């Protein structure tokens, strides 16, 4: 069974930093594009960032660009999200997801973790 398990959630003050980890099992993470998606309390889903198989391509939502960094360690079957300069509006559940793709196209997000939560508050 393919699984993603996030960890690292915490309560942090505005301006603080946090790093999320996501461990994959049941598939080889290195073979897939991966994404982070977040959901603020009572709100909809927001795409945050993604990264290609070898980590050479990364893309970010405008709301997090310059503050968040996505990375991966394929040898450890793990994905990361480093979050700096956190703001109150970054408060959300963060989901690690696997992208399903064809040779040239994005098809959807077919594996989701259970989510990990950051609360940004003073």
Partner 1 sequence: SSELTQDPAVSVALGQTVRITCQGDSLRTYYASWYQQKPGQAPELVIYRNNNRPSGIPDRFSGSTSGNTASLTITGAQAEDEADYYCNSRDTSGDRGVFGGGTRLTVL
Binding footprint of partner 1 on the chain (CB under 8 A): 35, 37, 44-47, 50, 59-61, 95, 100, 102, 105-110, 112-115
Q: Please say which residue, 89 or 110, places its beta carbon nearer to partner 1.
A: 110
Q: Please say which residue, 109 or 118, places its beta carbon nearer to partner 1.
A: 109
Q: Please say which residue, 41 or 75, places its beta carbon nearer to partner 1.
A: 41
Length of the chain equals: 122
The secondary structure of the chain as a DSSP string is: --EEEEE--EEE-TT--EEEEEEEESS-GGGS-EEEEEE-TTS-EEEEEEE-TTSS-EEE-TTTTTTEEEEEEGGGTEEEEEE-S--GGG-EEEEEEEEEE-SS-EEEEEEE---EEEEE--
Nearest distance from residue 105's CB to partner 1, in Å? 6
Nearest distance from residue 6's CB to partner 1, in Å? 10
Nearest distance from residue 70's CB to partner 1, in Å? 12
Q: Please say which residue, 66 or 75, places its beta carbon nearer to partner 1.
A: 66
12: its two tokens? 């942090």
Nearest distance from residue 106's CB to partner 1, in Å? 6
């Amino acid at each position: 069974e393919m699984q993603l398990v996030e960890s690292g959630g915490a309560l942090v003050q505005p301006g603080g930093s946090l790093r999320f980890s996501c461990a994959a099992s049941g598939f080889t993470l290195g073979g897939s594009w991966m994404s982070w998606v977040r959901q603020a309390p009572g709100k909809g889903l927001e795409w945050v960032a993604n990264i290609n198989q070898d980590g050479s391509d990364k893309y970010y939502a405008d709301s997090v660009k310059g503050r968040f960094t996505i990375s991966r360690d394929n040898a450890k079957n793990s994905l990361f999200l480093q979050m700096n300069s956190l703001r109150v509006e970054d408060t959300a559940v963060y989901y690690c997801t696997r992208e399903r793709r064809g040779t040239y196209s994005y098809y959807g997000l077919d594996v989701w973790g259970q989510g990990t939560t950051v609360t940004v508050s003073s």
